[in-house]
Structure 1
Amino acid sequence: MSASVDDGDSSSGAEFEVFLNFRGPDTRLTFTDSLYHILVKAGIHVFRDNEEIRQGEKIGDKLLHAIKSSKIYVPIFSKNYASSRWCLRELTHVVDCQSKAKDKMILPIFFDVDPEDVKLETKLYLDALGEHEEQFGHEVPQWKEALIEVAKIRGLGLKNRGHGEIINAIVNKVMTKLMKRRRNLPDYLVGIHDQVEAIMGLLNEGSHDIRYLVIHGMGGIGKTTLASAIFNRISDQFDGYSFLSDVRESAQRGRIIDLQKQLLSEIFQGQSPEIHSIDAGIEIIKKRCWQKNVLLVLDDVDEKNQLSTLAGNSNCFGPKSKIIITTRDINFLPIKEKEFLPIKENEEESSFQAHSKEFEIYEMKEMDSSYALELFSQHALGMNFPPPHYEDISRKITNKTSGLPLALEIVGSSLFGKSRAIWKETLKKLDSVPKQEVFVRLKISYDMLEDAQKEIFLDIACYFIGHKRLLPYYMWKASGYFPKSGLLFLSRMSLIKIDEDDTLWMHDQLRDFGREIIRLEDKDPGKRSRLWMPDNALNVVQRKEASEKIVALRLTILSEVQNFTSEEFSKLPNLRFMELDGGNLTGDFKNLLSKLTWFSWSSCPSKLEAKNLCLEKLAVLELSTIGSGDWVGWEQCTVQHYSKRFTLFGICRSNQTYSFTFLDLSDHWFVIFR
C-alpha cells in the first residue's frame, strides 16, 4: 500500500487511495509536496500528476483511471486554481465519481482562498472563469457547478494556521476514512437501511451533546450487525474510534484491562500505555480522551461496571463523542421507563447518570415478513425471492423462525442444495416446536452434524472464539476429528465463521447455544463434557467430583495460586484439553493425562513437581510467562507423539524468561514458549 505514483509514471492498471487535485505553480513545491510525501510515508497510495500527462482537451485514460480508482479526493484551492482548465476538468470528474459512489469522499483544502471564493460569491474565481468563456464556453457551466458543490463540503483552511497542523489533520482524516479497522458485515444485508436511519436520528448527528445509544434486543436479532453498519458509516467523522467486541465474555475471563488497552490503541492508532489495574485504566482513558471526540462501540454488555470501566462518564470524552452499546438486557442500566432517574441537587454524579438526555434506547424488533423471506431465500436458494415451486414452503419455514436473522441464516444455509424432502422434514421439525425458543430451532442444524463436527463446534463455543484456526486444528486432527472438512462444513452451515485473518468466530447466540448444549448434558457439572468457567472447574476438580465424561476444562484466572495433585486428575481419564494458570502439578502422574492433546499453562513454574508425566498424545503445548531459574523436574516430563519421543527439558532450558516457537509440521506437533 505504500507505493505511490508521481510525475506521470502512473499506469492505467494502478489502483489509488488518494487523488491530489491542485495547480502546480501555486503549491507543487510547497504545501502539496509536503502533503504528498507525508501521505506516502503513512503507507497511502497517492496519485499526484503533472502537466506532462495532460494532452489534448480531454482527460486521458491515466488521469481518468486515477480519479475513478481513488477513494479520497483532495482538491487544493489556491488563488490561481480557477485559471487552470485542467484543475477544473479534474474537479468535474471528481464530483461526478463521488456522486455515484457513497464510499468516496472529497476533502477540500482552502490554501490561500476562502470558501466564498470557491462558491463564486467573490470576483476571484468568477473573473478567472470569465476568461475561459470564449474558448471553453461549453464546459464552464459544469466547472461552476463543480466548484459550488465542493465548496459546500466542510474542508480545512490554511489561513492563520501552520502547514504542519493542517497536514496532520488531513492525514488523520484520510487514515480514518480508509478504515483500516473496518467492520466486516454479512454478505446479505436485508432490511437494515431503515434501522440505520433510525439510529442516525437518535444519535442526533452534528449535536455537541455526548450520546450513549443502547441497541437492545434478544440474541440473534442483529444488534452487532447494526452497530457494525453504523460504525462503518460514521467513524470517519470522529477524531478516533474503537469497536470492542464481546465485552461480557471478556469481563467473565478477567480481560477488562485488555479491552482498555485495545480502546486506547485503536483511538490513538498506536501502542497503548501500560495499564496495571482497572482503576488505572479508567484514569488513563479519561486523561487522554477528555478532549477527543470519539466513536466507541461496546458490543454485548450485561453489567454496569463494564460500562464504567470502559466508557467512564460524560467527562471522559470530547463533547461530540458517541458511545454505542449493544445488550440483551437493559435492567442493569440506571433507567426507568427508558429514562434516567433524576439526580438530586448537589448529589455526586455516578457513571451514566450525569444527564438524562445522554441515553437513548433503540429496541430491535423481529424482521418484517418480506425481509425475512428475502434473507432466508438468499441463504437457502441464492436468490432474493424463492421460485414458485419453493415459495409456499419457504414462507412456512420463514414464519417458524420468528423473524430472527440468525435463525433465518442458520436454517437457510442448512437447506442450501438439499432435496425438497429435506426441506419438508425441516419444516416438520419446526412445526413440532412452534413456540419454543430459538435454541430449539438452532438445534435442528446442530442435530444434522456428525459426531466429530459436533465436538469441533462445542470446542469453539467454549474455548476458541477469537483464536487462530491453526492451533486447535492440530488438536482436532490428533483426536481424529478431520478438522479440514469439519470446519468447512460448519462454516457453510453458518455455525461458525473464519475471518480473513484466519480467526475463528461465532455469533454470541450460537456460542450460548453451544454452551447450553453442555449444561443440558447433566445437572451435575462434574458429569458434563466441558467446563469453561474456572470456578466451576476448580470446584469439580478439588472436590474430586470429576467424571470420565469431562474432555476439556479451563483452570485460569483463579483468585489464588492452586496446586493440583495426581489424585485429582486420576478422575479425568478422557481429558484432551486443559488450560492452567500458575500453580503446579504434584504427585505421580504415571498413566494419567494419557489422552491430553492440548495443554496450555500460563505462569508456568520453572520447577515441575510432577513425576512420571508422559503426554503420549500431545499435539499443542503452550507455556507462557515462564519465570527465571533452572528448569528442575522437567527432565522427567516426556512427550511421545507419532512414534517420536521428546524430552521437554531438552527442548527448552533457560535461566531467564524465554521466547520460542517450535513447529514440526511433519508430525503436526506444536510447542509455544512465550
Structure 2
Amino acid sequence: MKGFEELVVELARYCGGNPLALKVLGSSLFVSDEDPRTISSMIKIWKSRVSSLNSLKGDLDSKIQGVLQKIFDSLALTSDKELFLHIACFFVGENVDAVELILEDEWYAISGILTLINRCLLTISPDRKLIMHQLVQEMGRKVVCEESKDPAKRSRVWRDAESYRVLRKGNGSDTIEGLALDMRKVDQRARSEELALKTSLIANMDKLKLLQLKYVKLTGSYKNFPELIWLCWHGCSLKTMPSRLLMSSLVAIDMSDGQLESFEAPTILNSLKLLNLKGYVV
C-alpha cells in the first residue's frame, strides 16, 4: 500500500529473510479491514515499531528473539501469557484437545490457544499436536529462566538436572507451578547416592499444579500433597494408587507403563476428564 513501501523493505531487512521472524513480526502489524484507524495513523504505528526494533542490539538471533519477546509482551491477557509459558515448558508435541481439557479451567486454554495461533506463537499439526517453533519455545523458556537464577524460585522447572536438584533439596514451595523430571535423563553420577526421592519434598510445593514424572521413585506419605490439576507419572513403581494422591482437583491422570494394580478407596475424582493407563494388561 502507498506509504508503506519503505517500511516494508526495512522490516524485511531487519528480519534477515528469516521466515519465522517475518511471520511473527507481520502478525503484530496486521490490522483488520474493519479497524477504524486511518492509514496515516497506521504508518505512524509501523514507524514506531521500526524504531523500537532498531533499538535492539546484537546478532540476528538476538533480534529475532527480541521480536518474539515483543509479541509475547503484547499479549493483552495474563492468562494467555501463562498459557503460552506452560505450553512452551511442558506441552509442545502433546494433543491439543487434551491440553485444552487440562488447562481450560485455570488458563482458558480453548480461547487462549486460538490467540497464540493468531499471533504466530503456536501451530497445530494435521494430527492435532501442538507445534511451537524452536526459537519461540526458547523465548518462552528464557522468560521463565529470567524470573530467577535459582530454579527453585522460578514458576516452572523442566530441565531434568535442575528438577532433580530442586526435589532432592526440597526447595521451591512458594513459586513452582509446574515441574517435569525424567530420571532416565539425569546423569548417573548425580543420582548415584539417592535414587528415590521423598514425597515430602513435593508436598512442600504449595503452588504446584502440573507434575510430570517419568520413571521416578518416590517414598513416603502422600499426606498434604499439592492440589494438582495434571499428574503424569510414566513408569510408576507403585502397586496401589494412594487415595491421598487422587485429589478432587485432578483433571488429567496419565499413569502409562507403570505397575499399578489397584486404586485405594475412596476414589472420588470430581474434576477428572482424562485417564490414561496405557501399557496395562486388563
Q: Which residue of 2 aligns with 1:669?
A: 273
Q: Which residue of 2 aligns with 1:433?
A: 56
Q: Which residue of 1 aligns with 2:7?
A: 393
Q: CA deviation at 1:671?
A: 0.7
SS of the residue 2:255 aligns to: strand
| Inter-CA distance 434–672: structure 2 relative to 1 (3 Å threshold) | same
1:464 aligns with 2:91: yes
Q: Is the 8 A contact 2:240 2:264 kept in 1?
A: no
**Higher radius of gyration, 1 or 2:** 1
Cα distance between partner residues in 1 of 2:141 and 2:248: 29
Q: Is the 8 A contact 2:241 2:264 kept in 1?
A: no
| Inter-CA distance 606–513: structure 2 relative to 1 (3 Å threshold) | same
What's the CA shift string for 1:431-468, capped at 9, x where partnerless? 33254612222111010112211222222222222221
Cα distance between partner residues in 1 of 2:175 and 2:220: 23
Q: Which residue of 2 aligns with 1:528?
A: 154
Q: Is the 8 A contact 1:614 1:638 kept in 2?
A: yes
Q: Is the 8 A contact 2:225 2:244 kept in 1?
A: no
Q: Which residue of 1 aligns with 2:259?
A: 627
Q: 1:593 is matched by which residue type in structure 2?
A: P
Q: Which residue of 1 aligns with 2:22?
A: 408
| Inter-CA distance 411–639: structure 2 relative to 1 (3 Å threshold) | farther
RMSD value, Cα:
2.5
Task: State how 1:282-431 maps to structure 2 within 5 Å.
Answer: 387-417=1-31, 420=42, 422-431=45-54
Show structure 1 runs of 4+ deviating over 6 A: none
1:489 aligns with 2:115: yes
Aligned residues: 258
Q: CA deviation at 1:568?
A: 0.3
Q: Which residue of 1 aligns with 2:138?
A: 512
1:613 aligns with 2:245: yes
| Inter-CA distance 672–610: structure 2 relative to 1 (3 Å threshold) | closer
SS of the residue 2:236 aligns to: coil
What's the CA shift string for 1:147-206, capped at 9, x where partnerless? xxxxxxxxxxxxxxxxxxxxxxxxxxxxxxxxxxxxxxxxxxxxxxxxxxxxxxxxxxxx
Q: Is the 8 A contact 2:89 2:158 kept in 1?
A: yes
Q: Is the 8 A contact 1:566 1:589 kept in 2?
A: yes
Q: 2:204 aligns with which of 568, 571, 595?
A: 571
Structure 2 gap segments, 5+ residues each: none
Q: CA deviation at 1:390?
A: 1.9
Task: State how 1:252-291 maps to structure 2 within 5 Å.
Answer: none
| Inter-CA distance 609–638: structure 2 relative to 1 (3 Å threshold) | closer
Cα distance between partner residues in 1 of 2:240 and 2:46: 57
| Percent of pairs with identical residues | 28
Cα distance between partner residues in 1 of 2:159 and 2:7: 42
SS of the residue 2:3 aligns to: helix
Q: Which residue of 2 aligns with 1:641?
A: 270
Q: 1:445 is matched by which residue type in structure 2?
A: I
SS of the residue 2:175 aligns to: coil
| Inter-CA distance 423–637: structure 2 relative to 1 (3 Å threshold) | farther
Cα distance between partner residues in 2 of 1:400 and 1:637: 61
Q: Is the 8 A contact 1:573 1:593 kept in 2?
A: yes
| Inter-CA distance 639–515: structure 2 relative to 1 (3 Å threshold) | farther
| Inter-CA distance 637–534: structure 2 relative to 1 (3 Å threshold) | farther
Q: Which residue of 1 aligns with 2:175?
A: 549
SS of the residue 2:10 aligns to: helix
Cα distance between partner residues in 1 of 2:139 and 2:14: 18
Cα distance between partner residues in 2 of 1:638 and 1:546: 29
- Normalised TM-score (structure 1): 0.36
Q: CA deviation at 1:427?
A: 2.5
Cα distance between partner residues in 2 of 1:610 and 1:587: 11
Q: CA deviation at 1:509?
A: 1.3
Q: Which residue of 2 aligns with 1:502?
A: 128
Q: 1:622 is matched by which residue type in structure 2?
A: D
Q: Which residue of 1 aligns with 2:229?
A: 597
Q: 1:474 aligns with which of 101, 110, 115?
A: 101
Q: 1:589 is matched by which residue type in structure 2?
A: Y
Q: CA deviation at 1:583?
A: 4.2
Q: Is the 8 A contact 1:551 1:577 kept in 2?
A: yes
- Normalised TM-score (structure 2): 0.81
Q: CA deviation at 1:562?
A: 4.1
Q: Is the 8 A contact 2:183 2:216 kept in 1?
A: no
What's the CA shift string for 1:254-283, capped at 9, x where partnerless? xxxxxxxxxxxxxxxxxxxxxxxxxxxxxx
SS of the residue 1:442 aligns to: helix
Q: Is the 8 A contact 1:581 1:601 kept in 2?
A: yes
Q: Is the 8 A contact 2:242 2:264 kept in 1?
A: no
SS of the residue 1:467 aligns to: coil
What's the CA shift string for 1:40-68, capped at 9, x where partnerless? xxxxxxxxxxxxxxxxxxxxxxxxxxxxx
Q: Which residue of 2 aligns with 1:448?
A: 74
Cα distance between partner residues in 2 of 1:507 and 1:605: 35
Cα distance between partner residues in 2 of 1:639 and 1:572: 23
Q: Is the 8 A contact 1:537 1:554 kept in 2?
A: yes
- Greater relative CO, 1 or 2 (CA 8 Å, sep 6+): 2
Cα distance between partner residues in 1 of 2:213 and 2:26: 40
SS of the residue 1:600 aligns to: strand
Q: 2:110 is matched by which residue type in structure 1?
A: K
Q: CA deviation at 1:614?
A: 4.3
